[in-house]
Structure 1
Amino acid sequence: MTVTLDNPATVPAPFGDRFAHVARLDPPAGALLLLSGQVGVNDDGVVVAPGDVRAQSERIFELIGGLLAAHGAGFADVLHIRTFMTDLGDLAGYAAVRNRHFPGPKPASTTVEVNRLFLDGAVIEVEVTAAVPAA
């Protein structure tokens, strides 16, 4: 499987080198994972630290890491991240947590502000797409 994270010269560079414009997958084998959006909930399904983007982001990436690991993947296998935030003013707090999980090439990314999320107190939801290498 060949994965290429690319920023072609035919378009403007990503803002602040925070993401790749294109994630290309050429799989002779392997699998593609499409994770549902994750919110920062504890093991009982209760929102952790209502209104706190950093605490919720920490929990979200813990959950995503567990889902990826259960399928033989890790953060280095993530091709795309889609983030829904109730306040883009919280972007720096989220970015500080997210960047620790992606120290190398950044995956393709979409971040949008939404009016609200499905659980009261949740301020961020993150979904990812990942490529699992063949065993």
Structure 2
Amino acid sequence: MLDNPDSVAAPFGDRFAHVARLDVGGGALLMLSGQVAVDDDGAVVAPGDITAQAERIFEIVGGVLAAHGAGFGDVLHVRTFLTDLAQLAGYAGVRRKVFPGRPPASTTIEVNRLFLPGAVLEVEITAAVADR
């Protein structure tokens, strides 16, 4: 099932779904599309500020997860795209707050740019949630 929950703004031009959900025995696998820090109108939040963008991204991710009965404790893997690895510390500080215990598996990649000017960070999430 592909979904764009009401808890977050719709993706740009309905070109993709925020999450693909695969129901499996006893739960579901959630594959979240890459999220960038945009407001409800699609404008980049705090252009160039990795800390503020990370906070907004995890706010969006939290809304998508919650719409499917999941939370940050259900996250299995985080894939991160940064435009400048020198800014990793700002992102890492926010991540430690979101995942205070044992962090999920992770991949971090430096890229030339992201699709929206001013966006310096994009985060993809994979989560598994048990039926409740």
Which category describes the TM-score, using the shorter chain as reference length?
0.7 to 0.9
Measured on the aligned residues, the alpha-carbon RMSD in Å equals: 0.9
Aligned mates of 1:31, 1:88 — CA distance in 2: 33
Q: Deviations over 1:41-70 (max 9, x none)?
A: 001000011000001000000000000000
Moved over 2 A (4+): none
Q: Deviations over 1:57-101 (max 9, x none)?
A: 000000000000000000000000000000000100000001101
Kindly name which structure, 1 or 2, has the bigger radius of gyration based on alpha carbons: 1
Corresponding residue for 1:34?
31
SS in 2 for 1:35: strand
Corresponding residue for 2:13?
none
Aligned mates of 1:103, 1:48 — CA distance in 2: 24
Question: Does structure 1 residue 45 correspond to structure 2 residue 42?
Answer: yes
Question: Does structure 1 residue 86 correspond to structure 2 residue 88?
Answer: no
1:104 Cα shift? 1.0
Describe how 1:13-24 pairs up with structure 2 within 5 A: none
The number of equivalent residue pairs is 109
Corresponding residue for 1:23?
none
Amino acid at match of 2:31: L
1:132 Cα shift? 1.0
Match of 1:73 among 56, 70, 74: 70
1:28 Cα shift? 4.0
Aligned mates of 1:54, 1:104 — CA distance in 2: 20
Structure 1 gap ranges (5+): 1-26
Corresponding residue for 1:57?
54
Q: Deviations over 1:18-45 (max 9, x none)?
A: xxxxxxxxx7410000000000000100
Amino acid at match of 1:95: A
Aligned mates of 1:102, 1:69 — CA distance in 2: 16
Structure 2 gap ranges (5+): 1-23
Corresponding residue for 2:112?
115
Q: Deviations over 1:4-26 (max 9, x none)?
A: xxxxxxxxxxxxxxxxxxxxxxx
